[in-house]
A and B are shown apart, each in its own frame.
Chain A
Amino acid sequence: MLTTTNPGPRRARFGLIFGAIGATALLAAGLPSLGATGGVVDAAAKAVTVKIDNFAFAPPDLTVAAGTTVTWKNNDGEVHRVADDHNAFSSAALDTDDSFSHTFATAGVYHYFCTIHPYMVGKIVVKPLSSKS
């Protein structure tokens, strides 16, 4: 896992570098061990997909680096709708095969749920960009 001793300045500085030199190379070089708490995360990826299958988010818990775009893909025959508990993001109604994406710019823990089937819940942990431990 990442450890961060001074996340604020580093996050800002890395944000600049991120924009300047490109995220893929940086992520590949600097964040090889970024872990997930329940799902597989490609640390080098800027994009990760959460599947919606059988009225559940898969993986339900996911850890990503700041700047990652998470896409929810509805594979169910039923309509779902993804929303953060604190309105950080919210999808339209997703019909079968529809997707919704959100880019997590800010580190934090995001609890979300389906506003149509509220017992469907998930969590995205967004880690700040920083040097590896």
Chain B
Amino acid sequence: MADRDKTELLGTAKLNRRGLLKCMAWTGTGVVWGLSGGVPRTIGLVGSAAAAEAAQGDLTFVQISDSHIGFHLPANPNPTATLGEAIAKIKAMPTQPAFLVHTGDISHLSKEEQWDTADQVIKGANKQVFFIPGEHDVADTGNGKAYLARYGKNTQGRGWYSFDVAGVHFIALINVFNFQPGFKSAGLATLGDHQLEWLEKDVAGRSASTPIVVLAHLPMWTIYPQWGWGTEDAGRALGYLKRFGSVTVLNGHIHQIIQKVEGNVTFHTAASTAYPQPAPGTAPAPGPMTVPAADLHKYLGVRTVDYVASKGVPALTDSTLVA
């Protein structure tokens, strides 16, 4: 498979499986996805027949999302600082993650200086980072050209890719392009035929016991269509994945933690590192929600994902940025 064992990943650093496994040797236990929220919880199951490879080492990684560098309104006048706090939190983790994933909206306005700032801050974690774009990252006049030129090396189509780590198959899906107007569609995000065909091939032939992690920006299930919080053709993607014993879908976009289990698939939206948004339907519209400054850090966070292969159980721990 062309995307298997990708040795050069997104961003500035390089990573290969051997190097990563070395890393994981000293991480000790499990796969960790890191994302914020506050309350540790364990969700989902990995099939007991987790890939043999996973037995070589456990995996821990961290998810951060929606940093919106360049945002400047009262909901958070300094998102660079809160991203820095998230990175500090990651650096202080006793079990260091093997890598980070950023599930989009790195910048607020797709400007190079905003990505420069984000990259500079995130670099402080000294980890490989896997990025996907949010709609704020493809809002340049070139409709995503700037993002793809910067972050899209070694990706397929308009930025999608997959890779394998410790027996876990990661799939980064892009659902921030080609929004169709509400007068001729449901007004939701789409993946598109090209990407879906790629996905079908990407997972074909893989053992059903391979744990799958899907990264996306917008939710892959319809949380609240009135606010566009869903992906119209997500069902087709999930159809290709349903035969797998463990599918974990991580996304951003809505700046709050919402989870859902559907068969073998668990969905987890993430907290932002910048500002919260209202719960579905609790405000006239989505968008930045201003909370008392003293409370902001309760709404921001990072998610840690611990995958202990021997137990076959991935654990997600959401931690807020409250010191």
Please determine whether chains A and B interact with each other in the same assembly: yes
Would you call B135 an interface residue if the criterion is a C-beta within 8 Å of the partner chain's C-beta atoms? yes
Q: Is the CB of A54 within 8 A of B181?
A: no
Type the 1/0 row for B119-148, where 1 means its CB is closer than 8 Å to any CB of A.
000000000000000011001110000000
Tell yes or no: B187 within 8 A of A by CB. Answer: yes
Q: Is the beta-carbon distance between A118 and B179 smaller than 8 angstroms?
A: yes
Check if B182 sits within 8 Å of A113, measured CB to CB. Answer: yes
Contact A118 B180 (CB under 8 A): yes
Which residues of A in the span 107-133 have a Cβ within 8 Å of any Cβ on B? 111-113, 115-121
- Check if A119 sits within 8 Å of B226, measured CB to CB: yes
Interface size class on chain A is 20 to 34
| Contact indicator B187/A119 (Cβ below 8 Å) | yes
Q: Is A81 an interface residue (CB 8 A)?
A: yes
- Is B103 on the interface with A (CB-CB < 8 A)? no
Cβ contact within 8 Å between B108 and A79: yes
Q: For the complex, count residues of B whose C-beta is within 8 A of A.
A: 29
Closest CB of chain A to B283's CB: distance in Å? 8
Task: Check A76 against B285 for contact (C-beta < 8 Å).
Answer: yes
| Chain B residues within 8 Å of A119, by CB | 182, 186-188, 225-228
A39 at the interface (CB under 8 A from B): no
Contact of A117 among B73, B109, B184, B228 (CB under 8 A): B228
Asked if B11 is at the interface (CB within 8 A of a chain A CB), the reply is no
Report the minimal beta-carbon distance from A59 to chain B, rounded to whole angstroms.
16
Interface of chain B residues 150 through 199 with chain A (CB within 8 A): 179-188
Task: Assess whether A120 is in contact with B182, with CB atoms less than 8 Å apart.
Answer: yes
Q: Which residues of A contact B141 (CB under 8 A)?
A: 92
Interface residues of A (CB under 8 A from B): 54-56, 76-79, 81, 85, 92-93, 95-96, 111-113, 115-121
Q: A78-B287, A79-B136, A118-B228 are in contact. List 16 more A-B contacts (CB 8 A).
A: A54-B287, A56-B285, A76-B287, A79-B108, A79-B109, A92-B141, A111-B181, A111-B183, A116-B136, A116-B139, A117-B179, A119-B182, A119-B187, A119-B226, A121-B181, A121-B183
27 interchain pairs, CB-CB under 8 A: A54-B284, A54-B285, A54-B287, A55-B227, A55-B285, A55-B286, A76-B285, A76-B287, A77-B288, A78-B286, A78-B287, A79-B136, A85-B181, A85-B183, A92-B139, A93-B110, A93-B140, A95-B108, A96-B73, A111-B181, A113-B181, A113-B182, A116-B135, A117-B187, A119-B225, A119-B226, A121-B183
